[in-house]
C-alpha cells in the first residue's frame, strides 16, 4: 500500500475519532460512526498485515537467494578442488611411469657403454638387465 493511501486512511480514522466525541451517546448515528470507525481500523490493520507479510516474503526470498549463492559458491569450490585433485593424481600417475623409464634409460646407457668393448663383462650389469624391463609380476 502506498504511503499516501496509508496516510489518508490514518487521517480518516483520526477524523472519525474526533467526530465520534461530538455525537450524542446512545444515538443511532453514534452506533453507525463506531461501526465505520471499526471498519476503517480493521482495514488499517489488514493493510499493515499485508505489508508486513510482503516484507517478510521479500526478506525470506533474500535469505533464499543468499543461500543459493552460498550453495553455488560451495559447489564451485568443490569443482575447483576436484579438478586440482584430478590433475594432481594424473601428474603422479605420469611420474610413476616416466621416472622408472628415465631411470632404466640412464642405467642401460651406462651399462651398455661399459660393455661396449666386450673385453670386460660385469656380472652386476648382467644381473640388472633382467630387472630393467618393466613387467608385472
* CB 132, CB 108: distance < 8 Å: yes
In the chain, what percentage of residues exceed pLDDT 90? 14
Q: List, in sequence order, the alpha helices (H) in 23-122.
A: 28-114
Dihedral-angle region of residue 118 (phi above 0 means left; psi in -120 to 50 means alpha; beta otherwise): left
pLDDT for 29-83, tens place per residue?
Answer: 878 888 888 888 888 888 888 888 888 888 888 777 888 888 888 889 999 999 9
Amino acid at each position: 500500500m502506498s504511503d499516501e493511501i496509508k496516510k489518508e486512511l490514518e487521517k480518516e480514522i483520526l477524523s472519525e475519532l474526533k467526530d465520534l466525541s461530538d455525537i450524542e451517546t446512545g444515538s443511532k448515528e453514534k452506533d453507525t460512526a463506531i461501526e465505520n470507525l471499526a471498519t476503517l481500523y480493521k482495514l488499517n490493520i489488514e493493510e499493515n498485515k499485508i505489508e508486513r507479510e510482503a516484507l517478510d516474503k521479500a526478506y525470506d526470498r533474500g535469505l533464499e537467494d543468499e543461500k543459493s549463492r552460498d550453495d553455488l559458491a560451495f559447489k564451485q569450490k568443490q569443482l575447483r578442488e576436484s579438478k586440482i585433485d584430478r590433475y594432481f593424481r594424473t601428474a603422479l600417475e605420469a611420474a610413476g611411469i616416466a621416472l622408472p623409464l628415465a631411470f632404466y634409460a640412464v642405467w642401460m646407457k651406462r651399462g651398455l657403454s661399459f660393455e661396449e668393448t666386450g673385453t670386460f663383462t660385469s656380472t652386476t650389469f648382467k644381473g640388472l638387465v633382467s630387472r630393467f624391463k618393466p613387467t608385472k609380476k
